[in-house]
Chain A
């Protein structure tokens, strides 16, 4: 593909979603965007780039963004962060919120919903320990397609076999055709909403726990910092941030610091809460 077409599409992607595409990823652009070109009746990437250049067509640009983001996810991904949430973060937060009995959780790049639903199932399993508590889970993503899928709570046999213990599958899913659907009760515990991490999250309110996992890896330093600083402003002193296995705040921003001995967990730099 032509250099100027690659540059145009890459810069559009970065502006819209933060995704940074190295020159070595031209092949990825080609394989993933051919179907988009075809969908819009265009012959190839050259014509696709042309439409972006001349018309700035929202539909086309949206489809390109959807096609280029990676939606890979699974239930209870990496397990450990979810154990920490249940055994350390949640008890700590509950200690500090005996009066309000209210906790807000944000999954900031929820993809197909596996991450927020994993949290919802954890809460459900805790049962009567949470009696009288109001725990909200807000799950957001830039991809409308992924959000639509997440809301249905429908997963393939392949998806329900990655990360989900069989006892949990049996307990919370129903078989419908060749898919598995999550119980409506669990689904209703999560609120889904479209949100681009490049925007300020201030309108979303404050969050005690933020899962922002496996999305910052696609951004450059400046964007990572902007996102993390934005998250920090929405967090109380005893809040906690969870990042993916290949992500860190170190060398990116001063607003967070790692929680000692709790891999993947971060707290506000000016917080002295012990987790």
Chain B
């Protein structure tokens, strides 16, 4: 069973994402900001991360850069999932090493399509 870390400061979004991912047979771990997510990664690296951008304490971009610097942090598939839907944000994310990018709002079909593309499914 593959694991996916869902990082979002909205409890509702985490719940929706969890439901979709569990239906796709993922073991789901949650974190409400980048800082908590980084701690979870240090405990155990997940196979994938579904990552919000704007969050208190540590945002998605800071988390991504810090996580990539950890041992084994290179392999993890990171899919941004954010309301930032302009070209410059997307380009910045790709440059920083994100594997895919979802513009909110999302649904199960989009998650599935993106996770297929990065090889998590």
- The answer to whether A binds B is yes
Chain A interface residues (CB < 8 Å from chain B): 74, 79, 157-158, 161-163, 165-167, 169-170, 174-175
Counting residue pairs across A and B whose Cβ atoms lie within 8 Å, the total is: 31
Nearest B-chain residue to A175, judged by Cβ = B87
Residue pair A170, B91 in contact (C-beta under 8 Å) = yes
Residue pair A166, B113 in contact (C-beta under 8 Å) = no
Q: 1/0 contact trace for B81-112 toward A, CB 8 Å? A: 00001110011001000001111001101100
Residue pair B94, A166 in contact (C-beta under 8 Å) = yes
8 A-B residue pairs with Cβ-Cβ distance under 8 Å, sorted by A, are A158-B107, A161-B102, A161-B103, A165-B100, A166-B94, A166-B101, A175-B86, A175-B87
In the assembly, what is the distance between CA of A169 and CA of B94, in Å? 12
Partner of B110, one of A161, A169, A170: A161
In the assembly, what is the distance between CA of A233 and CA of B116, in Å? 37
Residue pair B100, A157 in contact (C-beta under 8 Å) = no
At the interface, is chain B mostly helix, strand, loop or mixed?
A: helix
Nearest A-chain residue to B117, judged by Cβ = A165
Assuming the contacts A170-B87, A175-B87, asked whether A158 and B94 have C-beta atoms less than 8 A apart, the reply is: no
Chain B interface residues (CB < 8 Å from chain A): 85-87, 90-91, 94, 100-103, 106-107, 109-110, 113-114, 116-117
Residue pair A161, B106 in contact (C-beta under 8 Å) = yes
Residue pair B100, A166 in contact (C-beta under 8 Å) = yes
Residue pair A163, B90 in contact (C-beta under 8 Å) = no
B16 to chain A, nearest CB (A): 16
Residue pair B91, A162 in contact (C-beta under 8 Å) = no
In the assembly, what is the distance between CA of A166 and CA of B89, in Å? 12
In the assembly, what is the distance between CA of A167 and CA of B113, in Å? 14
Q: A79-B116, A166-B90, A175-B86 are in contact. List 7 more A-B contacts (CB 8 A).
A: A161-B106, A162-B109, A162-B113, A165-B117, A167-B94, A169-B90, A170-B90
Partner of A163, one of B91, B94, B100, B113: B113
The 5 closest A-B pairs by CB, nearest first: A166-B101, A161-B110, A162-B113, A166-B100, A165-B117
In the assembly, what is the distance between CA of A170 and CA of B117, in Å? 15
In the assembly, what is the distance between CA of A158 and CA of B90, in Å? 16
Partner of A161, one of B86, B91, B114, B116: B114
With a cutoff of 8 Å between Cβ atoms, the chain A residues found around residue B87 in the complex are 170, 174-175
Residue pair A162, B100 in contact (C-beta under 8 Å) = no
A161 to chain B, nearest CB (A): 5
Residue pair B94, A157 in contact (C-beta under 8 Å) = no
With a cutoff of 8 Å between Cβ atoms, the chain A residues found around residue B110 in the complex are 158, 161-162
